[in-house]
Amino acid sequence: MSKPVRTRFAPSPTGFLHVGGIRTALFAYLVAKQADGTFILRLEDTDKKREVEGSAEHLIESLKILGINYDEGPDKPGDLGPYRQSERLETYQKWAKKLIESGRAYADPYTPEEVQVFREDAQKNKLPFLYRNHRPENPVAWDGSKPLRFKSDPKGYKWNDAVMGDLSTGPEVIDDFILIKSDGYPTYNFAHIVDDAEMNISHVIRGQEFISSTPNYLNLYEALNLDRPILATMPHILNETGNKKLGKRDGAKDVLDYIKDGYLPVALVSFIATLGWNDGTEQEIFTRDELIEKFSLDRVGRSGAHFDTRRLNWVNGHFIRQMQIDGLYNASEKYWPDEAKSSDESYKKQVLGLIQERLKFLSEIPELTRFFFKDLPIDLSLIESNKQLKKIDKPELADLLSQSVKQLEQSDFTSADIQTKLNSLLESTNQKPAVLFSIIRVATTWSPASPALADTLAVLGKDKAIERLNKSIAALSQ
């Protein structure tokens, strides 16, 4: 029987979670869930200098909001915890002793200055600097005041990475690395190997930055007599325009900021899953259940995937359009402009119904809806910047609006009847829709964008629409 699937996400609490981190977590979650396995959160908090206060809570909140739920973690103890590395120091000591006893670890005797001299010597001789060329002949017993270093066994490796395929390296990349620092904390290189073994991790799914160290990890698995887990390396996420790794400067945002901007968790999950993965078809949007069913590591691309905000907006818009109006209304609660505070639910739902089709993310709501709640100031630049309207004199525009008022006063103000009146106005004024409808649209909203004209007028209501038309006529007649 094959080993139960146990995967982990192992962030260091040094900041927020951006899409790259979330993607690693999501893939590890999907691999576990599709095999009825266990997904674990382990906090790798052994680098006290880099730790950022509040970051662990922030990471946990990000995973929870996206529904990347772990079965075991710091706040969800299982049998193989604790799940914070800083609470596991005794375990690392125990495994370090095994290595000392088998002659595979030694106290590093050198000061940083001495190491610098070795480094410069190697440079002078055009040789790569390797610690293992300077192993002390008679190492002192390790008392914790010095770093503990791994005594490696240089050799070549061939191994398979579930994403990157068959890889190989020569002995020159194997070196003696630090296992436990002089502050008593283990390095990532040592701690993750110990923890993955103790926590029965079946798949190590992580970012590309660790691939060059992998041969050293393989060396350590052997020294500890451990079976190596399945290794899967995620390629970088690249910025939108170039081929550089997506970084803070390219707007690599905290995933919680996307939530604040009104991106839906389902959309973010679907979008992030398809950053570098597809199911072999043209399908671009996936529900969580589909992802659990269809995801596979061997369909993750080996080269970097480009982050694409337009695609994210498109995916989010798709999920917004699929929502029932009640669901969308509940999701929209925090996003209404101040002017909408006193409006009732049914009016706001009508407004939402009009913009649902084009809404990309919920924080666009104020900009797209403000004129439904408030008379916006008359802004003649909207006419001057309109290709069709700028060609026509203001009195003539005012006249078109006066004729519109006359027609619309006779409407029952259902959207269908408004459309009929607008059509007969086209005939009676002998104007193009691009002129007539644009001036009515501008004069009733004074907003650069609005939904379909008849629908917009119907939701605004007869009194408001006629009042705004009359005010606009006055402004254009001055």
Binding of residue 12 to ligand GLU (CB under 6 A)? yes
Which residues pair with residue 9 across a beta bridge? 41
Residue span 293-312 as binding mask against ligand GLU, x where in contact by CB under 6 A, dash where not: --------------------
Residue span 35-74 as binding mask against ligand GLU, x where in contact by CB under 6 A, dash where not: ---------x------------------------------
Nearer to ligand GLU, 10 or 473 (CB): 10
Tell me the number of residues near ligand GLU by CB under 6 A.
Answer: 7
CB 403 within 8 A of CB 429: yes
Other Cβ atoms less than 10 A from the Cβ of 412: the count is: 10
Question: Rounded distance, CA 237 to CA 248, Å?
Answer: 12
Which of 178, 193, 269 has its CA nearest to residue 231?
Answer: 193
Nearer to ligand GLU, 104 or 192 (CB): 192
Interface with ligand GLU in residues 396-415 (CB under 6 A): none
Other Cβ atoms less than 10 A from the Cβ of 239: the count is: 18
Range in contact with ligand GLU (rule: CB under 6 A) among 4-12, 166-174, 271-279, 356-364? 4-12
CB 400 within 8 A of CB 422: no
> Can you read off the two tokens belonging to residue 113?
């200055």
> Can you read off the two tokens belonging to residue 134?
């300077």
Other Cβ atoms less than 10 A from the Cβ of 75: the count is: 11
Helix, strand or coil for residue 122? helix
Nearer to ligand GLU, 147 or 229 (CB): 229
Question: Smallest distance from the beta carbon of 217 to ligand GLU, in angstroms?
Answer: 10
Which phi and psi angles does 154 have, rounded to 5°?
-60, 130
Nearer to ligand GLU, 213 or 402 (CB): 213
Binding of residue 11 to ligand GLU (CB under 6 A)? yes
Q: Is the peptide bond before 82 cis (omega within 30 degrees of 0)?
A: yes
Nearer to ligand GLU, 185 or 188 (CB): 188
Residue 180, H or E segment:
strand 178-180
Question: Smallest distance from the beta carbon of 84 to ligand GLU, in angstroms?
Answer: 12
Question: Smallest distance from the beta carbon of 61 to ligand GLU, in angstroms?
Answer: 17
Secondary structure of the chain: what % helix, strand, coil (to 5)?
Answer: 50, 10, 40
Interface with ligand GLU in residues 172-201 (CB under 6 A): 188, 192
Catalytic residue among 3, 64, 94, 248: 248
CB 33 within 8 A of CB 295: no
Range in contact with ligand GLU (rule: CB under 6 A) among 8-16, 258-266, 325-333, 334-342? 8-16
471 noted as active-site residue? no
The residues that touch ligand GLU, with contacts defined as CB under 6 A, are: 10-12, 44, 188, 192, 206
* Residues classed as catalytic: 248
